[in-house]
Amino acid sequence: MRILAAVLLSPVVLLAACANYPAMPSAALPACEYATVPQGAVFGVRHGGDTATYPPAVNRGHTGCQRVWFGDRLRPGSMEVLATYYFDQGRVRRLVGRVPGGAAYDCHYRDGTLDSAVSQNTAQCPKASEVEPR
């Protein structure tokens, strides 16, 4: 299950499968505050399911967040949050989400490794190297 979560959640894998996307939303909310898929999200397909990612890409050195949803791209308002990545200077420091049909997780990363002492449900947490943007 951990490998499935890593493959499903990796922003690099998700972004590699993406198509072109429309203009960015006019609202200036942080990506982690969008409950539903905003305009400007990029859609992809992983393991036979639709995904949406916003913002569509993060730059090296990014500080902020990126959110991923899953569900039916024809009904983006009904897509569910899969994961939220929290970046600090380009490194994922926290990953929060729920495996589809499975358990919730809260993964904390420090110095390039998973910090098991503060993470919850670490069996669902991918290795730090699997969540870092390339």
- Identify which has the larger pLDDT, 11 or 93: 93
Give me the residue spans of the domains in the chain.
2-22+30-131
How much is the pLDDT for 29?
65
The reply to whether omega before 38 is within 30° of 0 (cis) is no
How much is the pLDDT for 73?
94
As a whole number, the mean pLDDT across the chain is 80
b vs e for 45-62, b when ≥16 Cβ sit within 10 Å of the residue's Cβ? ebeeebbbbbbbebeeeb
Beta-bridge partner residues of 95? 85, 107
How much is the pLDDT for 38?
93
Alpha carbons within 13 A on the beta-carbon side of 86: 12
- Identify which has the larger pLDDT, 88 or 3: 88
First to last CA, the chain: 23
For 15-64, what is each residue's pLDDT tens digit? 333 333 333 444 456 778 898 999 999 999 987 889 999 999 988 888 99
